[in-house]
């Protein structure tokens, strides 16, 4: 397949597209994917809520095509909202599953390819695609085909990975990216490849093809798994501790509520620099001036982010600082929620020293977080001291086995208890 607009097919691109398409023909994949809709694991339900919320917010009707409909995750809620929905997918097995899950609800389903839709020009008011373009390097070619079937003035809504986010985290020189990020950009690595796009590329595409960009809304700042937040990767996502914290989302409603609140009141009002994933909305009409205003607004939000102060972002946020602080205060009452938020707080204060949390976090929470930060530093220092002692100890190896690890635990405990007085949490 050729990627139009001066982006010729690269080596391996067609193989990647074929592989991504064929993978979903397997009924076992369909079963696995369908199960994810009902089994709540880790942050799945948060991802689901955010994605379906965005699709419902941005879609316009009455005639909608859901491209790569899969098991109808986007299409069925839209049917429930009263839209007339047509789902297309290259996998008949997926369409069969959607038909089953629809349980008699009216939806039209057809086999078709994302880049060659079996419909005439201007058939639909809106095209939506959820978790589809993220797989395809030929996003431009697909979008041109979607534009063809959407009427003039209609709309296209889809999610894709954010190149600006990867750049914000690790710079524009991809050779310097860490291996787990690099492999997601490697077209030959079929399982890990992710399609990443920058706001500049989206605006350029809109101008070149007669579209108006309406949104590039970031989401999923702490979903983990395949949606790593690269800005906090080293401190959070790469650690087992954080994976465990995220796993609590599946069972802890209070934690879910906190995550959802942060996404809805902060994350989605920022820019694609802050998360690995975004929703993009194009209207099918040319408006170069609107596209220029959009680009300027993204630049203004980025500049506000750089100021490291809630007040600078205020013009774009739905809540005042006081309202936000009051809601956050309630959501931070459960200890698990507070522990999760502490992870984010720690990353922010490390990544953006000087970020002003005053007025956003209650003084007692802020005080506790600073105490926890101090405890972690003491803990690390005590561990280093204990490791240093054991390194030179004559008893370190017994029958060839390093026994210093057990000693280390007791040394750290003794240091924290007697010297720093923080082992039992007595000091706040
Ligand atoms: C990750 S699933 C997403 C399904 C659904 N939209 C959702 O969000 O749950 C990707 C879907 O795209 C479909 N697909 C893959 N390649 C395709 C192609 N070339 N043309 C049409 N559909 C394709 C797959 O069969 C699968 O149903």
Residue 255 CA: distances (Å) to CA of 218, 237, 276: 20, 17, 21
Q: For residue 417, what are the contacts with CB-CB under 8 A and spacing of at least 6?
A: 423, 424
Residue nearest to atom 13 of ligand 1 (CA): 68
pLDDT at 308: 80
Last residue of a domain, one of 252, 281, 306: 306
End-to-end CA distance of the chain: 62
pLDDT at 4: 36
The reply to whether 144 and 209 lie within a common domain is yes
218-37-56 Cα angle (round to 5): 45
Tell me, in angstroms, the distance from the centre of ligand 1 to residue 235's CA: 33
- What H or E segment, with its residue span, contains residue 278? strand 277-283
416: which DSSP letter?
A: I
Tell me, in angstroms, the distance from the centre of ligand 1 to residue 33's CA: 11
Residue nearest to atom 11 of ligand 1 (CA): 68
Give domain status of residue 21, yes or no.
Answer: yes
Give domain status of residue 3, yes or no.
Answer: no
The reply to whether 66 and 180 lie within a common domain is yes
How many CB atoms are located within 10 Å of the residue 353 CB?
Answer: 8
The reply to whether 269 and 374 lie within a common domain is no
Give domain status of residue 315, yes or no.
Answer: no
pLDDT at 401: 79
pLDDT at 255: 96
Tell me, in angstroms, the distance from the centre of ligand 1 to residue 97's CA: 13
pLDDT at 400: 79
pTM for this predicted structure: 0.88
Spell out the alpha helix ranges (H) of 199-334. 199-209, 240-247, 253-265, 288-306, 310-313, 321-331
The reply to whether 328 and 282 lie within a common domain is no
Give domain status of residue 31, yes or no.
Answer: yes
The reply to whether 78 and 197 lie within a common domain is yes
What residues flank ligand 1, with Cβ below 6 Å?
A: 20-21, 24, 68-71, 73-74, 89-91, 94, 113-114, 130-132
The reply to whether 28 and 71 lie within a common domain is yes
Give domain status of residue 28, yes or no.
Answer: yes
Give domain status of residue 187, yes or no.
Answer: yes
Give domain status of residue 8, yes or no.
Answer: no
Last residue of a domain, one of 277, 306, 335: 306
pLDDT at 6: 39
Tell me, in angstroms, the distance from the centre of ligand 1 to residue 144's CA: 18
pLDDT at 263: 97
Q: What is the CATH number of the domain that holds 164?
A: 3.40.50.150
**What range defines the domain where residue 384 resides?**
323-420
Tell me, in angstroms, the distance from the centre of ligand 1 to residue 183's CA: 22
The reply to whether 144 and 232 lie within a common domain is yes
The reply to whether 215 and 330 lie within a common domain is no
Which of 20, 24, 95, 119 best tests ligand 1's pocket when mutated (most atoms within 8 Å of CB)?
Answer: 24
The reply to whether 69 and 142 lie within a common domain is yes
Give domain status of residue 427, yes or no.
Answer: no
The reply to whether 28 and 148 lie within a common domain is yes
Which of 50, 90, 226 best tests ligand 1's pocket when mutated (most atoms within 8 Å of CB)?
Answer: 90
Tell me, in angstroms, the distance from the centre of ligand 1 to residue 20's CA: 9
Residue nearest to atom 27 of ligand 1 (CA): 70
Tell me, in angstroms, the distance from the centre of ligand 1 to residue 69's CA: 6
The reply to whether 114 and 170 lie within a common domain is yes
Last residue of a domain, one of 249, 277, 306: 306
Where the chain has pLDDT below 50, the residues are 1-9, 427-428
Q: Phi, psi at residue 197, to the nearest 5°?
A: -135, 145
pLDDT at 79: 97
Residue nearest to atom 8 of ligand 1 (CA): 130
The reply to whether 302 and 362 lie within a common domain is no
3/5 Cα distance (integer angstroms): 7
Number of domains forming the structure of the chain: 2
């Amino acid at each position: 397949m050729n990627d139009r607009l001066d982006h010729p097919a690269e080596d391996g691109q067609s193989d990647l597209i074929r592989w991504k398409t064929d993978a979903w023909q397997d009924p076992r994949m369909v079963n696995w994917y369908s199960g994810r809709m009902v089994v709540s694991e880790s942050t799945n339900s948060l991802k689901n809520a955010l994605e379906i919320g965005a699709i419902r917010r941005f879609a316009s009707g009455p005639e909608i095509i859901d491209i790569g409909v899969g098991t109808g995750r986007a299409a069925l809620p839209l049917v429930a909202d009263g839209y007339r929905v047509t789902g297309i997918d290259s996998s008949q097995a997926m369409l069969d599953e959607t038909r089953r899950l629809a349980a008699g609800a009216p939806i039209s389903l057809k086999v078709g390819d994302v880049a060659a839709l079996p419909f005439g020009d201007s058939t639909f008011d809106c095209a939506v695609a959820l978790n589809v373009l993220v797989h395809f390097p030929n996003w431009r070619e697909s979008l041109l085909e979607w534009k063809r079937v959407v009427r003039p003035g209609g709309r296209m809504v889809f999610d894709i990975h954010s190149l600006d986010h990867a750049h914000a985290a690790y710079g524009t020189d991809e050779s310097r990216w860490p291996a787990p990020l690099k492999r997601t950009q490697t077209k030959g690595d079929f399982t890990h490849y992710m399609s990443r796009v920058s706001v500049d590329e989206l605006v350029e595409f809109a101008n070149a093809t007669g579209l108006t960009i309406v949104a590039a809304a970031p989401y999923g700042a702490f979903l983990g798994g395949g949606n790593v937040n690269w800005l906090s990767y080293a401190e959070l996502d790469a650690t087992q501790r954080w994976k465990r914290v995220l796993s609590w989302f599946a069972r802890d409603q209070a934690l879910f509520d906190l995550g959802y609140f942060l996404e809805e009141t902060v994350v989605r009002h920022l820019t694609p620099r802050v998360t690995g994933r975004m929703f993009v909305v194009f209207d099918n009409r040319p408006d170069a001036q609107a596209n220029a205003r959009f680009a300027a607004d993204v630049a203004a939000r980025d500049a506000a982010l750089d100021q490291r102060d809630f007040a600078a972002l205020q013009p774009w946020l739905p809540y005042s600082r006081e309202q936000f602080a009051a809601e956050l205060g309630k959501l931070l009452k459960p200890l698990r929620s507070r522990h999760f938020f502490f992870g984010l707080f720690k990353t922010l204060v490390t990544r953006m020293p000087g970020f002003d949390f005053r007025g956003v976090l209650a003084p007692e929470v802020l005080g506790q977080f600073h105490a926890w930060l101090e405890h972690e530093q003491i803990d690390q220092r005590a561990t280093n001291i204990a490791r240093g002692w054991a390194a030179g100890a004559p008893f370190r190896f017994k029958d060839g086995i390093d026994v210093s690890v057990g000693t280390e635990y007791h040394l750290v405990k003794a240091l924290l208890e007697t010297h720093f007085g923080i082992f039992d949490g007595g000091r706040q």
